[in-house]
């Protein structure tokens, strides 16, 4: 991953336009779904510095140091780990990494994004992710079908060019 972390990228660009946010979120949601359903893993420390990017526009989840392996995909972990500001409410569930993702993307306290700076679809997406009651929070799979994610066509959003336009990475791996 030759572009460094998304945290490094954010230091350069400060804000990310919504079409690119949607594309980044979509890749992270797919990764979270794969980790939970195929590998039975809860990441438990999802943050910008644990998302790596490259010149092709790929976004990958890294740093599994505090992750947990689930016995099944119903998804409750028996232990609590993580930073309190980024920790989802109501304990750990396999898909609550979505809560951490949204706190990371918005980079401000839950539960809502400023409605005067973001589209209604984005605000709805954030609201869907940061519900305090876990039963009301959408899973990664459900969020991939959210209007904020589906309103942008993948072919119209070139993350590779967007990442490259910010200049050389601060850190390369």
pTM of the model: 0.72
pLDDT(22) > 80: yes
pLDDT(146) > 90: yes
Q: Let me know if 2 is a catalytic residue.
A: no
Which residues lie closer than 8 Å to 21 by C-beta, 6 or more apart? Answer: 105, 122
Residue with tokens 């605000």: 123
Percentage, residues of the chain above pLDDT 90? 28
**pLDDT of the residue at 139:** 86
Structural domains in the chain, sorted by start: 6-165 (1.10.510.10)
**pLDDT of the residue at 134:** 75
- Provide mean pLDDT across the span 133-157: 90
**Out of 23-27, 35-39, 154-158, which region has the weakest mean confidence (pLDDT)?**
35-39
Which is higher by pLDDT, 109 or 45?
45
54-99 residue pLDDT tens? 999 999 988 765 555 666 545 545 454 444 444 444 444 444 456 6
90-128 residue pLDDT tens? 444 444 456 666 666 655 444 455 667 889 999 899 888
- Find the catalytic residue in 8, 45, 63, 154: 45
d(CA 163, CA 2): 11
C-alpha angle 61-94-47 in degrees, rounded to nearest 5: 35
d(CA 133, CA 119): 24
């Amino acid at each position: 991953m030759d572009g460094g972390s998304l945290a490094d990228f954010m230091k350069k660009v400060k804000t990310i336009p919504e079409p690119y946010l949607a594309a980044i979120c979509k890749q992270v949601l797919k990764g979270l779904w794969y980790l939970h359903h195929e590998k039975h893993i809860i990441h438990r420390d999802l943050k910008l510095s644990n998302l790596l990017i490259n010149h092709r526009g790929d976004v990958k989840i890294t740093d599994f140091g505090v992750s947990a392996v689930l016995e099944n995909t119903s998804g409750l972990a028996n232990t609590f780990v993580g930073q309190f500001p980024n920790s989802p409410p109501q304990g750990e569930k396999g898909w609550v990494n979505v809560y951490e993702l949204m706190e990371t993307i918005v980079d401000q306290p839950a539960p809502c994004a400023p409605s005067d700076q973001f589209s209604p679809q984005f605000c709805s997406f954030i609201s869907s992710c940061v519900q305090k009651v876990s039963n009301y929070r959408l899973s990664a799979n459900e969020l991939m079908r959210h209007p904020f994610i589906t309103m942008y066509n993948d072919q119209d959003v070139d993350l590779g060019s967007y990442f490259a336009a910010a200049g050389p990475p601060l850190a390369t791996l």
